């Protein structure tokens, strides 16, 4: 039986992915629903398993199934990860999106899942926080605050209960990265939150998702149930926002989880000291928490070698060369 892979991402479905999946199922194929690879100009996209690997066709329609299975459809793309759009990318957080069935625990484990959590639980909480500091990870929701400093504050706080909160409100126009990660690789976020829980001594977490993301809500709720044994004794639940833009601000989000009207709280106290229900709370964006498993599995140096740190090194080299060209010892160019 021919196996085919078709995205179940909300944007892919809007472009006709469900009808395409039904057509392949009717043709006798085994259909695997994945997240999206992220290039919607080729959606609806289907990838056919062949002896040469997964071969993509897109955009295609339900009426194209016969030609695709024969291998003579004009929109044959070849291996999708070799397309110029993807070939020049280094994927870390989104490495599994569009590749795995998002709810397949075995596929997640086979592609490196849970290694970060195992590594974290094999060392002391302070060592985990130190690894996050050394990685240079900053808040990826836009504020850019050093994640390790936030975790250190919560770890040091004395309390009988602490919480991990994921801000998945993502209310700004044109944003979609959080949604795509939650729909395409929910266990990555779950693993990151479980690592955070171990690092600061929190036993429970909340994922606050905006109500306009029904696919992400459904996927995260299903993933939490399936992953309960993997992350125990840490526990998680989804809280759904009611469409208030202000709840994308972290303290208003905390009020909303507590069942109050979402309003921005005055600081201090910081949420890391007195956050959810007055307890020390880590609040991070989806992509911040989803980066954590990679850091623990591969080491902070591997993460620090890319992104902003890599950019900073290039700027330093560039400035040095300018200084040399101008015959001066240093300083701003």
pLDDT in tens, 269-327: 999 999 999 999 999 999 999 999 999 999 999 999 886 555 455 545 555 665 666 66
pLDDT at 333 over 50: no
Residue 71 domain flag: yes
Of 10-19, 226-235, 318-327, minimum mean pLDDT range:
318-327
pTM above 0.85, yes or no: yes
Q: What is the mean pLDDT of the chain?
A: 93
pLDDT at 9 over 60: yes
State mean pLDDT over 29-56. 97
CATH code for the domain of 50: 3.40.30.10
142 and 277 share one domain: yes
Q: Return the pLDDT at 208.
A: 98
Parent domain of 177: 114-298
Vertex 132, ends 130 and 136: CA angle to 5°?
A: 115
pLDDT at 331 over 50: no
State mean pLDDT over 240-257. 93
Residue 333 domain flag: no
17 and 152 share one domain: no
pLDDT at 33 over 90: yes
312 compared with 89, residue with greater pLDDT: 89
34 and 83 share one domain: yes
- Counting the structural domains of the chain, the total is 2
Per-residue pLDDT reduced to its tens digit, 143-178:
789 999 999 999 999 999 999 999 999 987 778 999
Residue 104 domain flag: no
Q: Return the pLDDT at 87.
A: 94
With cut-offs at 50, 70 and 90, classify the pLDDT of residue 332: very low
With cut-offs at 50, 70 and 90, classify the pLDDT of residue 216: very high
């Amino acid at each position: 039986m021919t196996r085919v892979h078709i995205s179940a991402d909300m944007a892919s479905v809007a472009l006709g992915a469900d009808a395409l999946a039904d057509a392949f199922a009717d043709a006798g194929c085994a259909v695997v629903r994945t997240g999206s690879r992220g290039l919607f100009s080729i959606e609806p996209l289907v990838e056919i398993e062949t002896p040469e690997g997964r071969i993509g066709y897109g955009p295609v329609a339900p009426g194209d199934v016969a030609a695709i299975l024969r291998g003579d459809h004009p929109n044959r793309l070849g291996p999708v990860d070799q397309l110029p759009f993807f070939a020049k990318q280094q994927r870390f957080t989104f490495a599994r999106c569009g590749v795995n069935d998002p709810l397949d625990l075995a596929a997640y484990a086979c592609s490196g899942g849970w290694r970060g959590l195992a590594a974290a639980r094999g060392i002391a909480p302070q060592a985990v926080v130190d690894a996050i500091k050394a990685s240079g990870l900053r808040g990826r929701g836009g504020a850019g605050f050093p994640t390790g400093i936030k975790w250190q504050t919560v770890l040091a706080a004395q309390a009988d209960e602490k919480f991990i909160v994921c801000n998945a409100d993502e209310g700004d126009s044109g944003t979609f990265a959080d949604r795509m990660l939650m729909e395409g690789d929910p266990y990555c976020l779950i693993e990151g939150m479980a690592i955070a829980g171990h690092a600061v001594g929190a036993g429970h977490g909340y994922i606050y998702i905006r109500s306009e993301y029904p696919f992400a809500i459904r996927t995260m709720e299903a993933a939490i149930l399936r992953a309960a044994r993997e992350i125990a004794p840490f526990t998680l639940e989804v809280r759904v926002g009611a469409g208030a833009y202000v709840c994308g601000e972290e303290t208003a989000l905390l009020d909303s989880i507590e069942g109050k009207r979402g309003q921005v709280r005055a600081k201090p106290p910081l949420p890391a000291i007195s956050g959810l229900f007055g307890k020390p709370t880590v609040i991070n964006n989806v992509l911040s928490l989803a980066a954590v498993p990679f850091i623990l599995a591969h080491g902070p140096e591997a993460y620090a070698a890319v992104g902003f740190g890599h950019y900073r090194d290039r700027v330093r080299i560039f400035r040095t060369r300018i200084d040399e060209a101008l015959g001066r010892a240093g300083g701003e160019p």
